[in-house]
Structure 1
């Protein structure tokens, strides 16, 4: 299970619907970069990696965590998923090359096909850990996705992602993350928790709102990367629009919030 699947459970979804009305938040302009393939999930995960790498070049003191793709390779090596020796060798090779490519990109800040391809390959590996899915095209990269991701990254504004004091990439929520089978957000910056979405829609829907609430609750329960972080705002970066939209966290933390947190924890524990 994941946070996304947990908040989608009927019991959880109905409780959150009862407590909160989904804010009417949407992008101002029209979509700028439309999908060029039908590999929506792969493109979205790959862009998450690329976007976080780019943000890291803007915030060299950012807190970073081990890539989920690294956990995928561990799963294969330990035999927790059936895999041939050839597949294991390919996964190790891709990860080794990704580490080198990422390091070079952080040093040079030069966006090229190599770092974009690396992001796509990491996304392919990522699916092994998150969904137990082994991409039959592991290691192969579609040029259309490379071009699409490059154009999306060009929309991102440095001022929106340059932190004044604190930046955490792919933050986790301590033991609270384990309540929902593991949970990691995309970005926390100066008290704002941001989820990166590569969707065609530029409007925040109920499931996205509930996911943000879930992250907010997990932070209350377990902190971020081993410490308590005050989250003042929540938001979504719509990568196909180049727009970051946020709203105050106080809209969530009302008088009933403490009871909701207790219910959330108990429900998660009972669901495991």
Structure 2
């Protein structure tokens, strides 16, 4: 199970978790846009229409775009570490083939990051293959017989490649601007939430830049979706949980983030929708919710390893007093 699965599950224990977050989940009126357009409205212009007849292609593009956007940002700030800990690598390892192909992909990505003049067009095909492998992992199909050719060798659909190119053109104009990212920005790619991620069975976001946690969307829908907003506020509280429960006795990899804003980047419209956490939730509100979550996690420990030094759930509450 993951955060998304937990938030949509009908199990009583998962509904209890959702009910903790619902009262402080931002609503449509709580967001604002960088463009000044009314959030989630018909003010948005569709710059990259979704013309796919095959719904799977739209999903594939969404994941591939996440990769390309991160690679482009990495190129801008010169950060080759973008290739570390990719979810796709897990899928590739399961294929059980020679590691040379994956290594070749990573070398091509590193070459792109190191060359500020190289176009992302050279990575479109790789991004789609990485997206296929990531979907393999997230769909939990690792124990089925796999079509190696589909993942590694088969030509990718031309319409998928064209859609990616159009999305990246808009991304360059609407996202790669000084208001959103600078050469010296603090950037964390595919951030996780340490202990918080383990407690919900897995949670990782798309990107953190200078206090803002971003979720990239390539949906054709302009309207507000409560579950998307719920997921973002879930990320925020898992991160806060990681911060306050990150003493020496907890040995989990986690890059601390101070999240001040939550945001969606809508790739087909070139719009950014923000929720200002810092000015919307008081420290008292945050601490109250953290204690509610700590109480909840005492009986719902997710994927926390049994050998962990924090397998005694009372430690969760100790760090919130």
TM-score, structure 1 as length reference: 0.84
Aligned match for 1:237, one of 265, 277, 281:
265
Aligned counterparts of 2:121 and 2:25: Cα–Cα separation in 1: 43
C-alpha offsets along residues 189-236 of structure 1, whole Å, 9 cap, x if unaligned?
111111111111133411111111111111112249634322111110
Matched, 1:7 2:7: yes
Q: Cα gap change, 1:69/1:20 in structure 2, threshold over 3 Å: closer, same or farther?
A: closer
Unpaired stretches in structure 2, ≥5 consecutive residues: 10-14, 30-38, 247-252, 303-321
Moved more, 234-243 or 125-134: 125-134
Count the aligned residue pairs.
260
Moved more, 250-259 or 117-126: 250-259
Who is 1:148 aligned against?
163
TM-score, structure 2 as length reference: 0.73
Shift of 1:240: 0.8
Who is 1:47 aligned against?
65
Q: Cα gap change, 1:210/1:127 in structure 2, threshold over 3 Å: closer, same or farther?
A: same
Alpha carbons 2:25, 2:233 under 8 Å: kept: no
C-alpha offsets along residues 14-70 of structure 1, whole Å, 9 cap, x if unaligned?
443334451333264222112232222211111100111111111224864410111
SS in 1 for 2:215: strand
Who is 1:191 aligned against?
211
Shift of 1:126: 0.8
Q: Cα gap change, 1:271/1:8 in structure 2, threshold over 3 Å: closer, same or farther?
A: farther
Who is 1:80 aligned against?
none
SS in 1 for 2:46: coil
Matches within 5 A, 1:1-272: 1-9=1-9, 10-24=15-29, 25-26=39-40, 28-37=43-52, 38=55, 39-61=57-79, 64=82, 65-74=84-93, 76=94, 87-89=95-97, 92-109=99-116, 110-133=118-141, 136=147, 137-139=150-152, 140=154, 141-156=156-171, 157=174, 158-159=176-177, 160-163=179-182, 164-223=184-243, 226-250=254-278, 251-253=280-282, 255-268=284-297, 270=300, 272=302
Alpha carbons 1:176, 1:218 under 8 Å: kept: yes
Alpha carbons 1:20, 1:252 under 8 Å: kept: no
